[in-house]
Structure formats: structure tokens, C-alpha cells
Amino acid sequence: MRGTKQTTIIPIVFFLCYSFMLQSCNVYTGAGGYGGSSTRTNPQYIVQEKITEQGVAVSLPSTQIVIGNEDDVTNDLGIGNAKEVYLNYFKMQFPKAITRGSKFENVIFYNSKYGVEMDKSFALRTHVMGTNSYMKIHEPIKGTHISTGDTSVRYILFIEGFKISRDNFTLTTPNSSVPGSPDSKNVVTSAVLNHKLVYALWDTEKEMTVSFGKVDEEVNVGLKMAKEDWATILENIVKDIVKGTQFEK
């Protein structure tokens, strides 16, 4: 009897342990799916003095943008190369979203001379997001002075892995255009505009990360997308980024 109990319990225990391992190894990386916004403030970043600098530089390399719905971009935001059209729109609209949704009052754009991926002043850094979950992003190497050009600001917002897409929801219905036909067709009932990215907010004076995270925002656009939807999702992204920091309104 004792031997029979052992051969019954061991497989069960093994199955439970194996199932737990599969669940616990669901690791996030910046290159994979995002699965909802998740932001973190750096516990080592402590600001004792009153922050008077309210300027931020935004870094978004064109090489870090992937657009899955190029037709939507050119239909809503302008004619031309989809990535160039979106970048022009982003540079016009994102500063407005930042000043409306945060305590930052001055917004400029930062461009590394060689691109953050190739610039020797930067390194790919890993940030822990939670248990067995992490993200990667290029940040300045400790001890490196980062200049934002003629307009000097203390903070730089680095954005990478920027993925833009539209997800359609469909309903299968009978093909009524052909009487008596058993065929069916897929009808788009609604859609969402989706933006995903990873970010890090950097303090150039303390040479430290203020906060970091991954953003997965979407806006329900119904059956027809409008330019206002693109502005709304950028405003939501700003709220995610400054959440829990001294720049949150």
C-alpha cells in the first residue's frame, strides 16, 4: 500500500510544480508583447530639494517606431511616408499633451548624434518590473554628460519600442447580398487604436533614472477613426508616464 501511494502522489506533485514553473516564467521584455501599462519609480531616486526645473527633452528615434496601420496614419494625419508623417504629428502634439497632463512646462526634443542605439554614451539597461518581469531601454552611462543643445533642460524622456496598430473587432453574419446563399462574411463592428512603448525618465543632474515602465494604451475608435483619437491616446500616455512622480498633476 505504501508503494502505491508514492507512485500516485509523485506524478501529481510533479504536475503541480511544472504548471507553476510555466506560469512563473512568463517574462516580459521590451521586444515582446506589453499586456497593459506598468510603471515604476526608482526607489533610489530621492529629491530632497524643491524642483524648480520644469523642462523635459523627449527622445524618440525613428528607428524605434513600428507602424502596423500605415493607411490610418496617412488618412488621418497627412499624406506621405507614414513614419515621417507620424513623427511630425508627434513632435507637434506630444508637447501639448505633456504640458496639459503633467507639471512640465517646457518641452523640447533630444536627438543623439549617432542615435542612442549606436552612441557610446548610452548603454542598454535592464529594469526590473516585477517578479520575473523586466524591460530594456538605452540610457546614458553613469558619469556621461548629456547635452540637450541650446535649450538646457534637466530631464530627458527616452522612448523606445514604439508600436502603433489598430485592432478590429468583427462579427460573422450571413451573406445577405446573395439570396439563399449559405456563405457568411466578416463585418467590422468596432476598432481600437493601440500604442505600446517602453520609457525611462532621466535626471541629467543626478545622473539617475527617475521612473521607467511600459505603456499599453488603447482608444475605442468605433467604425471610423478621427484625428482626435490620436491626440487622446497621447494624453493617456503622458498620464501613465508621470504617474507617481513629482511631475504628476
Q: Higher confidence at residue 198 or residue 171?
A: 198
Q: How confident is the model over 77-105, as pLDDT tens digits?
A: 999 999 999 999 999 999 999 999 999 99
pTM above 0.85, yes or no: no
Which pLDDT band holds residue 163 (cuts at 50, 70, 90)? very high
Q: How confident is the model over 222-246, as pLDDT tens digits?
A: 888 899 999 999 999 999 999 989 8
pLDDT at position 190 is 83
Domain ranges of the chain: 2-242
Looking at the predicted structure, is the pLDDT value of residue 22 above 80?
Answer: no
Mean pLDDT across 24-39? 48
* Alpha-carbon span 20 to 208, nearest angstrom: 36
Which pLDDT band holds residue 181 (cuts at 50, 70, 90)? low
pLDDT at position 139 is 93
Q: Higher confidence at residue 15 or residue 42?
A: 42
Q: Are 210 and 202 in contact (CB under 8 A)?
A: yes
Q: To which residue does cell 503633467 refer?
A: 102
